[in-house]
Amino acid sequence: MVRAIRGATQIDSDDREAILSAVTELVSEVMSRNELTTDDVISVIFTSTPDLTSEFPALAARKLGFHDVPLICASEIDVPGALPRVVRLMAHVESDRPRQQIHHVYLRGAVALRVDIAQ
Position 113 confidence tier, pLDDT thresholds 50, 70, 90: confident
Q: Which one of the listed residues 6, 35, 94, 108 is annotated catalytic?
A: 6
Give the mean pLDDT of the chain: 95
Q: Which one of the listed residues 33, 97, 108, 114 is annotated catalytic?
A: 114
Q: Which helix (H) or strand (E) holds 15?
A: none
pLDDT at 115 > cutoff 70: no
Q: Between residues 61 and 111, which one has the greater pLDDT?
A: 61
User: What's the whole-number mean pLDDT along residues 36-58?
Assistant: 98
Superfamily the domain 2-113 falls into? RutC-like (3.30.1330.40)
Q: Which one of the listed residues 25, 29, 33, 76 is annotated catalytic?
A: 76
- 3-state SS of 19-87 is HHHHHHHHHHHHHHHCCCCHHHEEEEEEEECCCCCCCCCHHHHHHCCCCCCCEEEEECCCCCCCCCCEE
User: What's the whole-number mean pLDDT along residues 23-39?
Assistant: 98
At 114 the pLDDT is: 77
User: What's the whole-number mean pLDDT along residues 6-14?
Assistant: 97
Annotated catalytic residue 6: yes
Annotated catalytic residue 3: no
Q: What percent of the chain has pLDDT over 70?
A: 97
Annotated catalytic residue 88: yes
User: What's the whole-number mean pLDDT along residues 42-70?
Assistant: 97
Q: Which one of the listed residues 17, 35, 62, 94 is annotated catalytic?
A: 62
User: What's the whole-number mean pLDDT along residues 41-56?
Assistant: 98
Query: pLDDT digits over 71-109, tens only?
Result: 999 999 999 999 999 999 999 999 999 999 999 999 998
Q: Which one of the listed residues 29, 73, 97, 108 is annotated catalytic?
A: 73
Annotated catalytic residue 62: yes
